[in-house]
Amino acid sequence: MVPQKFLEIQRWVAGQVSPYRLKHIQGVAQTAVRLAKRYGLPEEKARLAGWLHDCAKERTRAEMERWIRKAGFRMDPVEEKMPALWHPHAGAAMALLKWRIKDKSILEAIRCHTLGSPKMDPLAQVVFVADFIEPSRHFNGVNQVRATARQSLKKGVLAKASITIRFLFEKRMKIHPRLLETWNQFLLEH
Ligand SMILES: [Fe+2]
Ligand SMILES: [Fe+2]
């Protein structure tokens, strides 16, 4: 991608979200690049996916729905009832339709950043983990997850999945089956 287009995307993302979220997005991009370097993955793709992963997060439900429909993306019936899970799909739709990003691995990394997927490729794993451990995250145990992600990307995926599942379970909140599938699959692979 030409540097000019990347600058345009950065400027646009900054206009889509609150300063609080922008800080998170910058942190995810920075962390994704660091992990990509560590694991020999394309840094530019990691940076771009990091910048775009939450671009739709502050759009209304109606706007998100419109983008998802326009891109022809499908959500499963469980996701359809959970609007908090729409922004990854809407973000990928914006990346595709507004910015003409056709690289499947970048779009998948954006789409899978919240629930993961049992079939995530390494770039998607990087963004999934970076979303959880970027510098402005401050939950109990975050440093342990950062250390784990430095040792093994797949173990980093497992750490995010298990902590998120435990959190949702303890709060008696719904757990999307794909998050559990991510956990099950990476348990076999790591
Ligand atoms: Fe997100
Ligand atoms: Fe995020």
pLDDT at site 1 = 84
DSSP label of 83: G
Render each residue's pLDDT in the chain as its tens digit; 190 residues. 888 999 999 999 999 999 999 999 999 999 999 999 999 999 999 999 999 999 999 999 999 999 999 999 999 999 999 999 999 999 999 999 999 999 999 999 999 999 999 999 999 999 999 999 999 999 999 999 999 999 999 999 999 999 999 999 999 999 999 999 999 999 999 8
**Distance of CA 38 from the midpoint of ligand 1 (Å):** 23
Dmax (CA) of the chain = 46
**Distance of CA 43 from the midpoint of ligand 1 (Å):** 20
**Distance of CA 72 from the midpoint of ligand 2 (Å):** 23
Beta-carbon count within 10 A of 139 CB: 10
Evaluate whether 70 touches 105 at the Cβ level (below 8 Å): no
**Distance of CA 6 from the midpoint of ligand 1 (Å):** 20
**Distance of CA 51 from the midpoint of ligand 2 (Å):** 9
Type of residue found at 49: A
Beta-carbon count within 10 A of 166 CB: 11
DSSP symbols for 59-81: S-HHHHHHHHHHHT----HHHHT
Q: Can you tell me the distance from the alpha carbon of 139 to that of 181, in angstroms, rounded to the nearest whole number? A: 24
pLDDT at site 2 = 86
Q: Is the dihedral of CA 124, 137, 33, 2 positive or negative?
A: positive
User: How do the domains of the chain map onto residue ranges?
Assistant: 3-139
**Distance of CA 21 from the midpoint of ligand 2 (Å):** 8
**Distance of CA 53 from the midpoint of ligand 2 (Å):** 6
**Distance of CA 4 from the midpoint of ligand 2 (Å):** 24
Q: Which ligand is nearest to the CA of 92?
A: 1
Assign a CATH topology to domain 3-139: Hypothetical protein af1432 (1.10.3210)
Q: Which ligand is nearest to the CA of 134?
A: 2
pLDDT at site 190 = 81
**Distance of CA 124 from the midpoint of ligand 1 (Å):** 13
**Distance of CA 160 from the midpoint of ligand 1 (Å):** 13
Q: 80-109: b or e for each residue (b if 16 or more CB lie within 10 Å)?
A: eeeeebbbbbbbbbbbbeebebebebbbbb
